[in-house]
Amino acid sequence: MEQYKKEFIEFMIDCNVLKFGDFVTKSGRKTPFFVNTGFYRTGSQLKRLGEYYAKAISDKFGLEFDVLFGPAYKGIPLSVATSMAISEEYDTDVRYCANRKEIKDHGDTGILLGSPIQDGDRVIIIEDVTTAGTSIQETLPIVKAQGDVEVLGLVVSVDRMERGQGEKSALQEIQEKYGLETTAIVTMAEVVEHLYNKPYKGKIVIDDTLKSAIDAYYEQYGAK
């Protein structure tokens, strides 16, 4: 596993973004782990987060694209932080764009924030976590309504590796249904690999009991 992935896993723990315990997802699944990117709350945290996203994008897609699109609301700071990191780390300027939940009819009108999307633009969509793939169904029509654009792919922070609408993972379903390349900074398999029975700051984060709960969860909800 690449060093930046290990660092990102520990970064999520430090920021209380990655938690283990008893949770319920939006889809009603009881889960022993939870990822909440709303806990990235400081400038330094967002700066580092943008750098990890930038690395994942560079590794998967390269930097030959024009616009980084972040769906409202969590995607807005992600698109800003990552476009800044791409500029700083790779000396490459890409435009950021996001959507509003409500269309604005005065001042800076329309549904978009940041850069307009133009004919010929190559777009990458950036999100936090995709569990069931419902967000992309709303996001793609918004992006494609802006003109003759090419949506290259989707990047998320963590691939939960669980079933979406069918037997495959949400990211696999998105790839097949929409023809989009998808990637994540880390997968949950990598999280478990890095943390299982290994001390981090003097504590075992994933012990045998928690590992059994995670295994049971994937037995029920894991992608095939």
Q: pTM here?
A: 0.93
pLDDT tens digits, residue range 93-112?
Answer: 999 999 987 765 554 547 88
- For residue 83, the model assigns a pLDDT of 98
Name the token pair of 174.
């998105």
Torsion sign across C-alpha atoms 141, 157, 80, 57? negative
Q: Which residue has the tokens 């030959």?
A: 64
User: What per-residue confidence (pLDDT) applies to 137?
Assistant: 84
Q: Which residues of the chain have pLDDT under 70?
A: 103-109, 131-133
Confidence (pLDDT) at 131: 64
**C-alpha to C-alpha distances, 92 to 53, 75, 86, 188, nearest whole angstrom:** 14, 20, 6, 30
For the stretch 9-48, what's the b/e string if a residue is b when 16 or more beta carbons lie within 10 angstroms of its beta carbon?
Answer: bbbbbebebbebeeeeeeeebebbbbbbbeebeeeebbeb
Task: Give pLDDT, residue 107.
Answer: 46
Active site residues: 104, 106
